[in-house]
Structure 1
Amino acid sequence: MNAEKITTGLAQTMAAASSEETIPIIVKYRTGVVAAQKLVPGVSPAFRYKLVPAVAMRVKPADIQTLSEDDSVVRIWQDLPVHTCLHESLPLIGVPAVWAAGVRGRGVKIGIVDTGIDPDHPDFAGRIVSGANFVRDGSSYRDDNGHGTHVAGIAAGDGSVLGGKYRGVAPEASLYVAKVLDAGGSGMMSGVMAGIEWAVEQGVQVINLSLGGPAPCDGTDALSETCDAAVAAGVVVCVAAGNLGPKAKTVGSPGCARQVITLGASDKLDDIASFSSRGPTSDGRTKPDLVFPGVDIVAPRARGTTMGYPLDDYYTTASGTSMATPHATGAVALLLQTDPTLTPTQVKDLLMQTAKDLGFEANTQGAGRADVHQAYLLASAPPPPEEPGEPEPPQPPGEPEGCWQAIKRALRMGG
């Protein structure tokens, strides 16, 4: 057995398991290896991934030992559970001023990777483009928990039930929904990874992950690597920091991923919510990146669910970094409508550069509480004029166009 390829947690699980017990794992292969040729005989993988060269499956401890000895295998993780992150926000972050400029997320595709969505809720009418289910033994993306509907509403609900009173941040954006968590708000890393990959394949520009797994973490787990791969593919990924605060080192996976935007929660008085997870990551990096409002947020309620504190048949109130995260996702949609050429890194920088410093240390507030209007102003500002250069000398008579400039450059370079 090559113990270096097996994570510490998986090794502990193997030691406690019987020889016939099966363990859910995620196996990463070297790039270019055809995973189908390297599977355990008689075992069908639950998922095969493209963003990272990996498969998810359940195998016996002896099979894990055999896999670890395969030269094409890079890393073997245990497939761990993930859960939802529960516990007048838009004026506080300047969203109405962006709406006034005609920017409401039109044309931007948002991926909601969560418990699903209530497709019949009026606040989403005509804007749910596609959905898929990645929960074991499930087929529908209908929300049987309520969390995903609430999250989607914060990001992109239009508030039509009450004339726009509970409108989301980007009420004209399109929604793509991956159900990866069950009625209890729980799922497995492997299903979340599959949902992220599906969303990327659908062409979404920003993905919302109001969920999390074990804390602390260092960004090298399978789910974090998948999130970073999605960012590398050009997709902004917004992730909840978690609700294990106020202790340090409580940011869970995939909030510890390096390239994502990790969100903590603030309240309407610009204080940090006590439950909001704090950094640093286990390898010493600052997290969260920003905070958004996440306390007592009113948003759509999925029919037949009781998540949060229901106000009526259509809306419910909830708190958590789960609620802060879709504020960020909606903000990203507004910025991408403003300038569709923005890269994930540029979007993250815009939000962090314009955030309001709330006076807390970086591993509590990140760059501060986001100011979406200021980020929009920076994104929509014309580029600064170029510095006037040295005037070109007159073209010598008889020389072909551009020849003199080429000679001049060569002379400057010493050629």
Structure 2
Amino acid sequence: MTELALLAADGSVSTTELAPAPAFEKPRQPLRSRVAYAAAHVIPKTFADNTPGRPADIDWDATLAFRHHVWSWGLGVADAMDTAQRNMGLDTAATRELITRSAAEARTVDGALVVGVNTDHVADEVITLDAVIDAYKEQLHFTEDAGAGVVLMASRHLARAATNADDYLRVYREVLAAATTPVTLHWLGEAFDPVLAGYFGSTDFEKSSATVLEIIRENADSIRGIKMSLLDASHEVSVRSRLPESATLFTGDDFNYVDLIAGDDTAHSDALLGAFAAVTPNASAAVQALDAGDVTRYRRILGPTEALSRQIFAAPTFYYKTGIAFLAWLNGHQQAFSMVGGLHSARSLPHLSEIVRLANEAGALERPELAAARWHGQLALNGIRA
């Protein structure tokens, strides 16, 4: 029996039994019952100067290999999103190269791909609404030219410039009119980015959701759906129940996705989740269970991953990317536990230890012996005897 060392907040060390590798199988046909995207992270060169404030220097082989890992399990990739450290280490040049490279790789395997479109290439914090529209369109056209699907991300510039719901209606109307294929909207909560508080014109959910629904109804032909990342299941269900039939609700709720994806007799959510980058094989196996009509097996597989996701996305939530990269390292998808912008230092060792414990319990350690060896090495490097 191999023991797995765990580190408590007070510095004490305990052990638990290392669970065997999960017996999940890759799908032999496309997943049918749910559409699921994993929001993938980027992997830096281990020797490069990826310190805070420096341009991202990406290990493209490893970064693209991780996307092939996601596609091989039947999931789509959501790229150049927050999980890829936009606004937190991934600069504009690296973002555009990521989009171009991922789109080219997706075509080689017929992999589903959507990427984030934002206004974050504009350096000024405060710009006019017209400038917001122009900035959105610039990235929109770049992404469409690359051949990728579009997720129209929430814009910090728009949050600062808009004074009421009508401003949001105007901006989205003009940007969506420029799209050549239907796009997915993105409603990102302030837990992920405090600047986005009051997005869509109000801090009152009923008012802001009414604006979102008006945008979707008014621009139905240009909208595929909406990804909601408010970390409130009741809010998501409320919007989902009022969507037109033409629009899909993609859950971005990394706290409550198991029930939201399962749904009920009337509706369910599809998925576009950072959490699915951490538990890709589990997510695939769970959707395969739904494809087979086995809801019990779906819950047995995916249910335990929710506690793991809640730990990864614990406050301050915008540092969840550290946990995603940490698990990718444990599972052998990158050579070192490192991130652009030096963000691998954003979580404590006890926090990471809890991720190890929950991943072990959830069957999310793809190569348990490797994960244990790497984790124990990390502890030793920090002077802790496992």
- Taking structure 2 as the reference length, the TM-score comes to 0.28
Q: Which protein is richer in strand relative to its size?
A: 1
Q: Which protein is richer in helix relative to its size?
A: 2
- Taking structure 1 as the reference length, the TM-score comes to 0.27
Q: Which has the higher contact order (CA 8 A, sep 6+)?
A: 2
**Structure whose alpha-carbon radius of gyration is higher:** 1
